[in-house]
Amino acid sequence: MMLHELTISELTTRIGRREVSARQAMQACLDQIHRTNPSLNTFIKLDPEKALADADAADRALAAGESHSKRPLLGVPLATKDVIAVKDQPLNCGSRILGDFVSPYDATVSRKLKEAGAIIFGRLNMDEFAMGSSTENSAFGVTRNPWDPTRIPGGSSGGSAAAVAANQCYAALGSDTGGSVRQPAAFCGCVGLKPSYGRVSRYGLVAYASSLDQIGSLTKSVPDAALLLETLGGHDPLDSTSVPQPVPRFSHELTGDIRGLRLGIPREYVVGGLDPEVKASVDNAVKHLVSLGAEVQEISLPHTEHAVATYYIIATAEASANLARFDGIRYGKRVEGTDVIDLYARTRGSGFGAEVKRRIILGTYVLSSGYYDAYYLRAQKVRTLIRSDFTRAFEKVDAIVTPTSPTPPFKIGEKANDPLQMYLMDIFTISANLAGICGISIPCGFTASSPRLPLGVQLLGPALGESTLLRIAHAFESTTDWHREQAPV
C-alpha cells in the first residue's frame, strides 16, 4: 500500500515507529494532489511550502519526545472544506463575494486539530456557501468524482469527500446542513460522520442555516472518524449551541460486538425513485448486520414526506438572514454603486451565484410579512413533529438503517437545471438535521456498471448517540471489504 493510501491510525503507527516521517507523509499527499487535482479540482487553495514547513515542525516535535498518546494526530496531514476558518488561510466559501479574504482566527475545530498535532493544509472545493448537493455551484469550478470524472462527487462537501477518496489527504473536515457530509461520502466511497447538533462547536464555521449546520468528518475508516470526533467534540463557550456534555472515548468503544442491538428500518424510506442497486446494497447491508447479531424491525417515521419542504423553508430562511452580512460594507468584495441600494445590488448580484441567489430569495419570501405564519412558522411546527417521530422510534430501536442517497452519483450537469430534482437528492439525509440527531454513511457496495460507482448505507442514532452508531459502523466495516477499494485515479 502506498504511503498516501494509509488511514490515520496506520500512518500514526508508522510515524510512531519512525518508519516514515511527517514530511514524507505530507510530500506523498502533495505529489498525489499534483497528479490528480487537475482532473478532480478538489483543492482550490494550497501552500506546499507552508505544508512542508509544518510537517518539519511535527518531525521536530516527535524527535523531542512528543507522542501520539498525548497528541494523537501529530504529523497527520488533513484538509478542510472552504467554509471553516483556519488562521492565515483563505476563506472563500466557494464564492466570489469574499474576494481575497484571509481568516484572522482559527475555528474551534481548527484549534483543536492543531493542538492534537494535525497539519491543516489546503482549502477544499464546495458548493457556494454550502448550498448544493453536487459541488457544481462553486465559483472555483466543478469538482469531479475520483471513481468517474464525468460524475459529481456529491455536495456540498464534495471537495472534502473526493480528496479523501483520491488519497490527497488522510481525512478532511466538512459541514453537514442537510446531508452535505454523508451524501458525498456515499458517492465517493468513504466514511462521512455528522455528529449530533451541539456535539462539535460551530465557532468559525461560516453559517448557512444556524439551527441545522454541524461540522463533520470525511475519513477512510470508522476508527479514524471516531478519533476525529474525540478530538473535535466537547463544550465550547464560544458557541452558545454547544452541548455541555463529556466526550466519550469513541475509539475505545469499537468492540465489534453488536449482538442484541435493535435496528429500525423505516417503511417511509422505501420511496419511488429509489435506485434498484441502491436498494439491493442496503438490503444486503442489513442482512450482514443481522448475521453479526443485530435484530431488525420495521418502524415508522410518518412525517418523512414533509421533510424536504420543511427543510428548504427553514434552511433558506436562516440563510437569507445569515448571508445579509455579505453586502460589500461589513463583509464582501465591494462593487461600487450610485447609492447604497445600488452598491448592495451590484455587490450581491455579482458576488453570489445562481443557487445562492435562489435560496436567499426563497428565504426572504417565507420570512416576509403575510407569509411568515403560512410558511416559516408552519415549517417549524412540522419540524417538531419530525423530531418527535425520531424520539418515539429510538424508544424501540438503538439505530436506524437507511440508504444515504436514492441514486448512485449522477452525471455532471444532469440535474443542474432542475432544482427540485437536485433538492430531492437529500430526501434520506435532511431529517437528521431537522431532528438534531447523529448520522454516518459507510461504504456498502458498488454499482454493476463500468466504471463501478460507490454506494453507501446510512446509520442514524439518537442525539449524542455516536458511541453506538460508531460501534455498529465499525462492526460492519471490519467484516466487509468495501472501504478498502481504491478509486482509479
The model scores a pTM over 0.75 = yes
Q: Is residue 284 part of a domain?
A: no
Q: Which residues of 166-184 are buried (b: 16+ CB within 10 A; e: fewer)?
A: bbbbbbbbbbbbbbbbbbb
| pLDDT at residue number 203 | 98
CATH number of the domain encompassing residue 82: 3.90.1300.10
Q: Is residue 275 part of a domain?
A: no
Are 252 and 360 in the same domain?
Answer: no
Q: Is residue 102 part of a domain?
A: yes
Q: 180, 217, 221, 242: which is the annotated catalytic residue?
A: 180
| pLDDT at residue number 73 | 98
pLDDT values of the chain reduced to their tens digit, one per residue, 489 residues:
899 999 999 999 999 999 999 999 999 999 999 999 999 999 999 999 999 999 999 999 999 999 999 999 999 999 999 999 999 999 999 999 999 999 999 999 999 999 999 999 999 999 999 999 999 999 999 999 999 999 999 999 999 999 999 999 999 999 999 999 999 999 999 999 999 999 999 999 999 999 999 999 999 999 999 999 999 999 999 999 999 999 999 999 999 999 999 999 999 998 888 999 999 999 999 999 999 999 999 999 999 999 999 999 999 999 999 999 999 888 888 999 999 999 999 999 999 999 999 999 999 999 998 899 999 999 999 999 999 999 999 999 999 999 999 999 999 999 988 988 899 899 999 999 999 999 999 999 999 988 999 999 999 999 999 999 999 999 999 999 999 999 999
CB atoms within 10 A of CB 299: 21
Residue labelled with grid coordinates 465489534 = 256
CB atoms within 10 A of CB 205: 23
Q: Is residue 272 part of a domain?
A: no
Q: Is residue 185 part of a domain?
A: yes
140 and 481 in contact (C-beta within 8 Å)?
A: no
| pLDDT at residue number 271 | 82
Q: 9, 21, 110, 156: which is the annotated catalytic residue?
A: 156
Longest dimension (CA), the chain: 70
| pLDDT at residue number 86 | 98
Active site residue 156: yes
Are 189 and 243 in the same domain?
Answer: yes
Are 186 and 332 in the same domain?
Answer: no
Any residues with CB less than 8 A from the CB of 222 and at least 6 apart, and which?
A: 191, 254, 440, 442, 470, 473, 474, 477
Q: 81, 194, 220, 415: which is the annotated catalytic residue?
A: 81
Are 372 and 323 in the same domain?
Answer: yes
- Picking from 350, 384, 418, the residue at the C-terminal end of a domain is 384
CB atoms within 10 A of CB 267: 12
Query: How many domains, the chain?
Result: 2
Name the residue range of residue 377's domain.
304-384
Are 424 and 445 in the same domain?
Answer: yes
Residue 410, sorted as left (phi over 0), alpha (psi -120 to 50) or beta, turns out to be beta
| pLDDT at residue number 332 | 87
| pLDDT at residue number 231 | 98
| pLDDT at residue number 346 | 94
469 and 440 in contact (C-beta within 8 Å)?
A: yes
Are 37 and 15 in the same domain?
Answer: yes
| pLDDT at residue number 270 | 85
Are 111 and 181 in the same domain?
Answer: yes
Determine phi and psi for 485, rounding to 5 degrees.
Answer: -65, 140
Are 113 and 222 in the same domain?
Answer: yes
Are 314 and 236 in the same domain?
Answer: no
The CA distance from 231 to 115, in Å, is 9
Are 101 and 43 in the same domain?
Answer: yes
Are 363 and 441 in the same domain?
Answer: no
Are 359 and 248 in the same domain?
Answer: no
Q: Is residue 314 part of a domain?
A: yes
| pLDDT at residue number 369 | 86
206 and 101 in contact (C-beta within 8 Å)?
A: no
The CA distance from 41 to 159, in Å, is 8
Q: Is residue 299 part of a domain?
A: no
- Residue 3 CA to its chain's centroid (Å): 24
- Picking from 384, 414, 439, the residue at the C-terminal end of a domain is 384
Q: Is residue 276 part of a domain?
A: no
SS (H, E, C) the chain: CCHHHCCHHHHHHHHHCCCCCHHHHHHHHHHHHHHHHHHHCCEEECCHHHHHHHHHHHHHHHHCCCCCCCCCCCCCEEEEECCECCCCCECCCCCCCCCCCECCCCCHHHHHHHHCCCEEEEEECCCHHHCCCCCCCCCCCCCCECCECCECCCCCCHHHHHHHHCCCCCEEEEECCCCCCHHHHHHHCCEEEECCCCCECCCCECCCCCCCCCEEEEECCHHHHHHHHHHHECCCCCCCCCCCCCCCCHHHHCCCCCCCCEEEEEHHHCCCCCCHHHHHHHHHHHHHHHHCCCEEEEECCCCHHHHHHHHHHHHHHHHHHHHHHECCCCECCCCCCCCHHHHHHHHHHHHCCHHHHHHHHHHHHHHCCCCHHHHHHHHHHHHHHHHHHHHHHCCCCCEEEEECCCCCCCECCCCCCCHHHHHHHHCCCHHHHHHCCEEEEEEEEECCCCCCCEEEEEEEECCCCHHHHHHHHHHHHHCCCHHHCCCCC
- Picking from 349, 384, 419, the residue at the C-terminal end of a domain is 384
